[in-house]
Amino acid sequence: MLWETVIEWLYPRRCPLCGDIALPKGELACPGCKKRQRRLSGARCFRCGKELERRERVYCPDCEVREFSYERGFALWQYDAVMKRSIQEFKYKGRQEYADFYVEQLLEEYRERLLALELLAVLPVPLYKTRRQERGYNQAELLAAGIAAGLGLPLITDFLVRSRATRPQKELGPKERQKNVETAFSVNLHSQTAENPPSCILLVDDIYTTGSTVEACSQVLRQAGVRSVYLLCLCIGTGV
Ligand SMILES: [Zn+2]
Ligand SMILES: [Zn+2]
């Protein structure tokens, strides 16, 4: 406890939403910032979880024209300017502690819904091994670990792998994105999970834009024997 106090004093926690020191002390984010960051609400696309502009729709325009192999996605926030900066710091500036806040918020919103799905395991979208080494961590894995712990489920990190390096999706258009990740993922047949894959899993990632990355993961998992893949993402793009 004393040690934690010393750490807190030396490295005060920063608010993931504004980047300043989070006040009052002990909070994971400023209460004001938290209130301002509106969560997705109202009618949502039945596939990806995006907010629908027209309530009478079931799917967003993206999901209406594209087949996906996953069951359903849940996302917490719009990928707006605040979250863009927040996730950049989380991913590239070593702000791993932001995961605590993100996980707290995700669970606050979705714990009950997720518990009702009869999930058997939580898997992060993997990074390619050299990229993970460079960065020192996989941001999706930090989220997945917190979610798994919060739901009382096992976290599986050695089954789904990124078997080749890909260009960052943000540099590409929708068609290119699909191509970029199409054959990027595979399952590790030497992992224990490969012998008896869980039938229903939750795949976790930080951002969902066109869905190409998670779809590529989902296809590989389905081929390996997983029956249902659900998604949980921190942020989702507005789409077309
Ligand atoms: Zn703040
Ligand atoms: Zn959708």
Could you tell me whether strands 228-236 and 72-78 are parallel, antiparallel, or unpaired per DSSP bridges?
parallel
Task: Give the model's confidence band at 180: pLDDT under 50 very low, under 70 low, under 90 confident, else very high.
Answer: confident
Name the residue ranges covered by the structural domains of the chain. 17-236
**What pTM did the predictor assign?**
0.93
| Rounded mean pLDDT, 24-33 | 92
- Is the confidence at residue 240, as pLDDT, over 60? no
Centre of ligand 2 to C-alpha 71, Å, is 11
- Is the confidence at residue 185, as pLDDT, over 70? yes
Cα separation, 143 vs 140, in Å, equals: 5
Reference 60, options 69, 68, 50, 70; nearest CA is 50
17-236 carries CATH number 3.30.160 = no
| Mean of per-residue pLDDT scores for the chain | 92
- Is the confidence at residue 224, as pLDDT, over 90? yes
| Rounded mean pLDDT, 40-63 | 91
Centre of ligand 2 to C-alpha 84, Å, is 20
- Is the confidence at residue 239, as pLDDT, over 70? no
| Rounded mean pLDDT, 7-16 | 82
Cα separation, 92 vs 73, in Å, equals: 25
Residues with CB under 5 A from ligand 1 (ion): 15, 17-18, 30, 33
- The sign of the torsion formed by the CA atoms of 86, 92, 97, 102 equals positive
Centre of ligand 1 to C-alpha 79, Å, is 17
Higher pLDDT, 30 or 174: 30
Higher pLDDT, 164 or 21: 21
Centre of ligand 1 to C-alpha 151, Å, is 27
